[in-house]
């Protein structure tokens, strides 16, 4: 029996086994069992009886190296093999045919530390031939198995180019992203053990990579504190050309496979605040919880603003009370406003802001120095605390109506000042306060209807100014659903239709507006225009 379970040597089997991973059959469904309960796994007669529950929820997968203790018996109780009697655990790679099918199918349903008894029909064991002299033909077998541990092996690029074996599990669930700055330790060797490169600590931006392409691809699959062994094929190492010796690093021959031990010590989250890489926020210290400011939130921060040469041009909140400002009220530069909105309480961040979101093309006299024209600026910010505006679900019906009216007035003031994008956001927020009116009285429903009409109409005017014609059309349609004779909505929707070259629909709206209000000079002018084209 021991010979039947023998693991082939890595040199003979490893490459073929890894290439077979993607073609393995779908895992059997893991039945939910209570201790002492027995259920069938899959459709081939394999049964599992739970003896002892395992830890957590994870189970091994095909290609993972599992370590087990086992005792095998015939149905009459005759023992034919036992790792426990030998005093050592048994290791093999799951799902690769190194053991009988019943083991491959059964053990992948187990959790770490779990103990189960598997009843395995002959079709999933040794079949018609048996395994003389201990196992007769067509024998159903029972195995008492304890899953001691396993090492996960993953084909992280799904092409056989990089295999990752976890040596030390990481913390939490997050993985670094392309923009993040990751701090790692690594050691890279050739297959014969020759050391090529080693670092006890290096930091790099994930998307930029380091040493060879495999490092960047691997760290994106790793957690903080995780340590792995990578088997890296040439396409993710140094390819068919290899690499000559460089400084303190050894030469890499052509078409060389590397073994890299890699540990992710930590990383700094970097986010693209404006989605154009012109405002970047790097977290230096994580904040608390999940809550972040919204528009209208009063924030209290400590901040230091620096130029590229390190000169400080502003410092607030360090020697006095924290600096206070209100989000989306133009009390600070746009880039800082947007970045602080993405911070949590207690968070420390470095914010890099390019001139488009900072002080623009003109120099600006600040508290401690002049910021030159077209300067990229850097802010170190600590979010001390913030007080969010009351959310709609915390308001009664009258408070919602009052809040919506206030946002509408703020939007009107911004529109008159030519700040159409910010005005649009105010109108949208106003409508959100009163969007769902099931709890309003009949009188309040009339108030909210008028507010919705006004805010959506005004927002449509903003969208026309911003050349967002499709959104302007949608907003006008919402108004007409509430008031199908609203001339302004018809007129503005016609303007949107003209801009998106839907002239037939525009003409319909203009004619309808004139039917409702024959003296409307704007609609009359547009109809004259239609007649001339």
Catalytic residues: 70, 80-81, 100, 126, 143
Paired residues of 185 in beta bridges: 263
In angstroms, rounded to a whole number, what is the distance separating the alpha carbons of residues 300 and 282?
19
Closest C-alpha to 479, from 499, 496, 500:
496
**Secondary structure percentages of the chain, helix, strand, coil, to 5:** 30, 30, 40
Q: Which of the 8 DSSP states describes residue 522?
A: H
| Kind plus residue range of the DSSP H or E element containing 266 | strand 258-268
In angstroms, rounded to a whole number, what is the distance separating the alpha carbons of residues 418 and 412?
10
Angle at 296 between CA 294 and CA 297, to 5 degrees: 60
Q: Helix, strand, or coil here: 368?
A: coil
Closest C-alpha to 140, from 132, 148, 150, 130:
130
Q: Which long-range contacts (CB under 8 A, 24 or more apart) does 58-61 make?
A: 58/111, 58/112, 59/30, 59/108, 59/109, 59/110, 59/111, 60/94, 60/107, 60/108, 60/110, 60/147, 60/150, 60/152, 61/27, 61/94, 61/95, 61/108, 61/152
In angstroms, rounded to a whole number, what is the distance separating the alpha carbons of residues 410 and 235?
58
Is the distance from CB of 353 to CB of 376 less than 8 angstroms? Answer: yes
In angstroms, rounded to a whole number, what is the distance separating the alpha carbons of residues 530 and 510?
10
Output the six-digit token pair for 400.
Answer: 């919602």
In angstroms, rounded to a whole number, what is the distance separating the alpha carbons of residues 61 and 476?
55
Is the distance from CB of 152 to CB of 64 less than 8 angstroms? Answer: yes
In angstroms, rounded to a whole number, what is the distance separating the alpha carbons of residues 109 and 88?
23
């Amino acid at each position: 029996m021991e010979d039947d379970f023998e693991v082939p040597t890595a040199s003979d089997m490893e490459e073929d086994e890894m290439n077979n991973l993607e073609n393995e059959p779908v895992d059997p469904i893991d039945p939910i069992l209570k201790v002492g309960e027995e259920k069938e796994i899959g459709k081939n007669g394999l049964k599992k009886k739970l003896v002892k529950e395992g830890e957590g929820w994870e189970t091994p997968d095909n290609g993972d190296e599992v370590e087990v203790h086992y005792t095998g018996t015939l149905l009459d109780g005759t023992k034919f093999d036992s790792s426990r009697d030998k005093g050592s655990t048994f290791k093999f790679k799951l799902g690769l045919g190194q053991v009988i099918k019943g083991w491959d199918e059964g053990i992948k349903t187990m959790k770490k530390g779990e103990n189960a008894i598997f009843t395995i029909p002959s079709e999933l064991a040794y079949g018609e031939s048996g395994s003389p002299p201990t196992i007769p033909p067509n024998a159903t077998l029972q195995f008492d198995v304890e899953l001691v541990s396993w090492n996960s092996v993953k084909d992280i690029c799904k092409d056989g180019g990089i295999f990752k074996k976890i040596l030390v599990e990481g913390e939490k669930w997050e993985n670094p992203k392309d923009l993040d700055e990751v701090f790692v330790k690594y050691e890279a060797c050739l297959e014969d053990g020759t050391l090529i490169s080693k670092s006890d600590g290096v930091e790099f931006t994930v998307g930029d990579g380091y040493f060879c392409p495999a490092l960047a691809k691997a760290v994106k699959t790793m957690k903080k504190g995780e340590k792995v062994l990578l088997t890296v094929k040439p396409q993710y190492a140094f390819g068919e050309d290899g690499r000559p010796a460089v400084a303190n690093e050894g030469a890499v021959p052509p078409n060389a496979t590397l073994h890299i031990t890699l540990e992710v010590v930590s990383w700094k989250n970097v986010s693209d605040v404006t989605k154009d890489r012109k405002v970047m926020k790097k977290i230096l210290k994580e904040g608390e919880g999940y809550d972040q400011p919204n528009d209208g939130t009063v924030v209290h921060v400590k901040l230091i603003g620096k130029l590229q040469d390190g000169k400080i041009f502003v410092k607030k909140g360090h020697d006095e009370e924290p600096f206070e400002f209100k989000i989306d009220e133009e009390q600070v530069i746009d880039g800082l406003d947007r970045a602080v909105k993405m911070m949590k309480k207690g968070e420390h961040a470095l914010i890099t802001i390019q001139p488009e979101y900072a002080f623009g093309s003109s120099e600006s006299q600040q508290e401690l120095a002049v910021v030159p024209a077209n300067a990229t600026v850097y802010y170190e910010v600590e979010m001390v605390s913030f007080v969010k505006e009351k959310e709609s679900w915390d308001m009664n019906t009258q408070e919602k109506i009052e809040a919506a009216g206030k946002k509408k007035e703020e939007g009107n003031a911004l529109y008159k000042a030519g700040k159409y994008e910010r005005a649009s956001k105010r109108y949208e927020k106003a409508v959100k306060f009163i969007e769902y009116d099931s709890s309003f009285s009949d009188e309040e429903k009339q108030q909210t209807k008028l507010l919705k009409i006004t805010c959506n109409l005004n927002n449509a005017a903003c969208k026309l100014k911003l050349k967002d014609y499709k959104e302007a059309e949608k907003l006008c349609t919402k108004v007409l659903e509430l008031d199908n004779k609203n001339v302004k909505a018809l007129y503005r929707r016609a303007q949107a239709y003209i801009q998106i070259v839907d002239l037939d629909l525009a003409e319909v709206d203009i004619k309808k507006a004139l039917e409702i209000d024959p003296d409307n000079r704007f609609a009359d002018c547009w109809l004259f225009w239609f007649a001339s084209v």
